[in-house]
Amino acid sequence: MYHFDPANELGDKSRRELIQRIIDGQATDEEQKWFDDSVTDCSNCECRSYCIQVSALKDIIRENVEKKKAPADLLDTIKKKIKS
């Protein structure tokens, strides 16, 4: 059975992209399990500090930035500017 092991299979950039998917809630179940099993308990993991910082920043943004809907005609306006 295949075992996902980012430490052995991915370069630094890919690991950061994986961690970004985990933080964003877009990771697969296997990727999330790797994170839960490996990173959260690893006090020396280089990724751990990055994860904590990015998660904290995203939490601050979610808590303090008001979500607003884009104007209904925004897409049409952008398309017109691109075409002209």
How many other CB atoms are there within 10 angstroms of residue 19's CB atom? 21
Nearest by Cα to 10 from 53, 49, 57, 46: 46
Pick 14 or 56 by higher pLDDT: 56
Which one has a higher pLDDT value, 50 or 7? 50
Q: Give CA–CA dist 64/34, Å, rounded.
A: 31
In the structure, what pLDDT confidence band is assigned to residue 11 with cuts at 50, 70 and 90?
low
Domain map (residue ranges) of the chain: 6-83
**What is the arithmetic mean of pLDDT over 7-20?**
69
pLDDT digits (tens, 9 = 90+) for 28-73: 888 888 777 776 666 656 666 777 787 788 888 888 888 788 888 9
More confident: 36 or 7: 36
